[in-house]
Amino acid sequence: MQRLPLSYIKPGMITAEEVIDANGRILCGKDVELTEEHLKKFEEFGVHFVTVKGHPVKLEWEKTLEEELRDLEKRFEGIKDENLIKLKEIMEEFLKEVHQ
C-alpha cells in the first residue's frame, strides 16, 4: 500500500482505501481501478493524496530497508549507552515493520 500525491496517480492503479474529499464525501471506494475520469474528479474536489495497492512508485525521498538500516548503524556507531542501544533496537524493529 502506498499513499501518493495525486500527481503520481495513474489510470490502472487500484485504490487501497476510500478516496474522501476535504468535506468527508466519498468520491471513490476501496479496490477500484482508477480511470482518467476518477483523477479529474479528484482534482476538481481538491484531493491531494490517494492510497493505492502495492508500491507502484519509487519516490525520490524513499529509502530501501537496507539503506535505512545502514544509516541507523552509522548514526549509532560507537554508542555504548544501554538506553541508546535499546532505542536503536526499537528503531530497527520499527523500520522492519514499516517496510513489510
Query: In CATH, which of 3.40.50.620, 3.90.105.10, 3.50.50.60, 3.40.50.970 is domain 2-52?
Result: 3.90.105.10
Per-residue model confidence (pLDDT) at position 61: 77
What average pLDDT is seen over the chain? Answer: 93
Region for 46 from its dihedrals, namely left if φ exceeds 0, alpha if ψ lies in -120 to 50, beta otherwise: left
- Total-model pTM: 0.64
The domain segmentation of the chain, as residue ranges, is 2-52, 65-98
Q: Which cell is 59 given?
A: 519516490
pLDDT tens string, the chain, 100 residues long: the values are: 889 999 999 999 999 999 999 899 999 999 999 999 999 999 999 999 999 999 888 777 788 899 999 999 999 999 999 999 999 999 999 999 878 7
Per-residue model confidence (pLDDT) at position 60: 78
Read off the pLDDT of residues 24-53 as tens digits, 9 standing for 90 and up.
999 999 999 999 999 999 999 999 999 999
Q: Give the β-pairing of 49-52 and 2-5.
A: antiparallel
Per-residue model confidence (pLDDT) at position 56: 82
